[in-house]
Structure 1
């Protein structure tokens, strides 16, 4: 049976457009892609023939699943979704690279030279497996791809006018549930939560303190901006894993402030007057789109600050400085071209074709782990996958916040086949791919994308 290209999506608003583009371009080469919610694909991972699987990270918490995926016979391609903005190498390795990750990954995709050097610096890295390709998420920011979002941009500007956009990334201290934070209170004691996994204890506690200070500063900043610009709409987009209700409650008294999370951030970045952020990769996307960026950095903390995003905008320490930057009628978005050169080291080939197309050229025609001799190992992998699914469902019934239906739905809202079909065809036409594609429903939150017969 012909292998599939299996493309799981964890955070729909952040990942779906780019990964659907991969599926559309792969269809041009005869591939059928399986795309959908990561947790749903994992529940059925043993029911696919040995195929090509694209992983979004190399973290310790994902290794159990990757071991199962390899046993089943899938060839594994991986990139780190969060590698563009990262901490110092020792912290990056502890947080984002499991000790046996390099043994499981057949093809490791680097966003750029910075990411490549990070991988190379790890003592277990197999350099021959690393390819510097860029990333599909950067593809949809290219000038020719932006028309994909133009209708939505026009809608947002009609609805919100010349709006100011805040993007937050406080999932470490304002998580969907307290136990998902870096630290949380348990019987009066601060204990480590889900997001501290892999971090040295001193760093986790320091990062928690830093994020809390910035989080509290944003809670004061947004009302100050709302008061300074009473006739303008302020839109807050929280991180997909944040507690969105916190912001809705905090900002309810300000009639010109709305909290929105739906859809990809790209049209919001294209439509807004300026983006206000701190250490958020959205600033990198905004810079490549030509968005005016204000980096609110109320404290100096080089060890815990994600510097790249903040270097791409006007740095401000106080609310008054932010308000003045918003009012600046003619800011220099890239003094001397330095910011563009900086980003070029982190994102490869942005001006030289699609990273998705470069990736597809490297796909093997079949999984090398599909031999008859591996059938017993495959069967053991299938059994492990089914047992994992049973365990996950048990945790869901027990009320585990990280496995709850509500948390999953916040990160991956329901999709209709018709909407996905329309979106896939728009991606195909804009990218110039010649063969029409067809999207088919396969299972709840799982779809097939193939060339139309």
Structure 2
């Protein structure tokens, strides 16, 4: 009987809130849900009570984990949370492992175009059901109140500011390029004889270009608006020391790493990115966002979702003037792309309701044993006894916010929006492992 719903977490600042959204809907429907660090779940697949594991994406490590989970009697399904908006070309397959086709029992796609592209690419596929993206649900107006308190706090502390949201592998903090290349091999982005290293090398080259773009933009901003406050928010995988050195001698610049991106984007007057998917999330929220790029055409750009949706500037002085205009309250300071806004609005409203609801509805329809959450609770005591893996610093950093207090805060804030009953119980049998159920 597969009557436990497992939601593994790999990067709490990216995934935890959207996964808790799914968890709360499932608990409200009678399920027992385990939300926990992915490495503990993967290391204990043989002894954990049989359940349905919902993977956040479908790169090669997730495919390997899903295949092992099925060997141990679990059901493995996947969503595509990293797919923020519809795209064409190679970017569709960037997060798909070569063995995706036979790794999962079911795949929940974000849009019909993605399904058509996958059918053309893979000879064998799991059943596919289009639901949208639960992470995108959090960007819709209904959930904007979730961010309100934190946004007000940031604005009270920092006033009016621009946000520079960085994302560069050239500043990766977990080793050198050989280590990064190894990560690409393990992720399935490089496969000997099938997927060559060109994407990796082009990405490294492009990230060096981003460094130059960033320097040129800040120099232009110093020229046209030297007093404008800018907060730099590095990607969790970047070394903050680089940015601390970068801002030396620059007026009104600071580096902040705490919190999730959506809070900062909503609090800022405008956000600047250099090809980052997070910028598209901000755009979906209705925020002011611009993308910086080089003038020369680059193949990597075509696989860059920000380039396809965001107002993109290749002249850094024009970008700086646009940001000055925003800070001065000038209407239409950003050269908007009405067609991009239209396409994103169409995507947001493609289905009635929300993706997290459609996901839980489908899971309960396909796997009705999940409704017997009260029976599952009798078996989940084993979570007190499982062997927890020893995590390296990078993994520890990814789940540093997975505390009972933080999870409780998320539940409280989402609960107010969802009008949930107060009969939800949360247990923490091991650090960064949580059981949610009605008791």
For normalisation by structure 2, the TM-score amounts to 0.84
Residue 366 (str. 1) matches residue 394 (str. 2): no
Residue 407 (str. 1) matches residue 394 (str. 2): yes
Gaps of 5+ in 1: 185-190, 368-385, 394-402
Number of the residue aligned with 1:148: 146
8 Å Cα contact 2:84-2:281 kept in structure 1? no
Residue 331 (str. 1) matches residue 328 (str. 2): no
Number of the residue aligned with 1:7: 7
1:38 CA drift (Å): 1.8
Q: Whole-Å Cα distance in 2 between the matches of residues 321 and 335 of structure 1?
A: 13
Q: Whole-Å Cα distance in 1 between the matches of residues 112 and 63 of structure 2?
A: 25
Report the CA distance shift for 1:116/1:226 in structure 2 as closer, same or farther (over 3 A): farther
Number of the residue aligned with 1:246: 242
Secondary structure of the corresponding residue to residue 36 of structure 2: strand
1:67 CA drift (Å): 2.1
Q: Whole-Å Cα distance in 1 between the matches of residues 91 and 351 of structure 2?
A: 31
Residue 283 (str. 1) matches residue 270 (str. 2): no
Secondary structure of the corresponding residue to residue 299 of structure 2: coil
Residue 297 (str. 1) matches residue 286 (str. 2): no
Q: Please, which of 313, 318, 321 is the counterpart of residue 315 of structure 2?
A: 318
Residue 195 (str. 1) matches residue 184 (str. 2): yes
Gaps of 5+ in 2: 371-385
Choose 201-210 or 145-154, whichever is displaced more.
Answer: 201-210
After TM superposition, list the pairs within 5 Å mapping 1:20-35 onto structure 2: 20-35=20-35
1:14 CA drift (Å): 1.1
1:113 CA drift (Å): 2.9
Choose 141-150 or 44-53, whichever is displaced more.
Answer: 44-53
Measured against aligned partners, the alpha-carbon deviations of 1:270-291 in whole angstroms (never above 9, x if no partner) come to 1111111122111221112111
8 Å Cα contact 1:88-1:303 kept in structure 2? no
1:77 CA drift (Å): 1.3
Secondary structure of the corresponding residue to residue 165 of structure 1: strand
Secondary structure of the corresponding residue to residue 310 of structure 1: helix
1:88 CA drift (Å): 6.4
1:308 CA drift (Å): 3.3
1:351 CA drift (Å): 6.7
Q: Whole-Å Cα distance in 1 between the matches of residues 298 and 337 of structure 2?
A: 24
After TM superposition, list the pairs within 5 Å mapping 1:384-423 onto structure 2: 393=390, 404=392, 406-423=393-410
Secondary structure of the corresponding residue to residue 173 of structure 1: helix
After TM superposition, list the pairs within 5 Å mapping 1:27-66 onto structure 2: 27-66=27-66
1:295 CA drift (Å): 1.2
Q: Whole-Å Cα distance in 2 between the matches of residues 37 and 252 of structure 1?
A: 37
Report the CA distance shift for 1:415/1:194 in structure 2 as closer, same or farther (over 3 A): closer
CA RMSD of aligned residues (A): 2.8
Number of the residue aligned with 1:111: 110
Choose 157-166 or 78-87, whichever is displaced more.
Answer: 78-87
8 Å Cα contact 1:6-1:34 kept in structure 2? yes
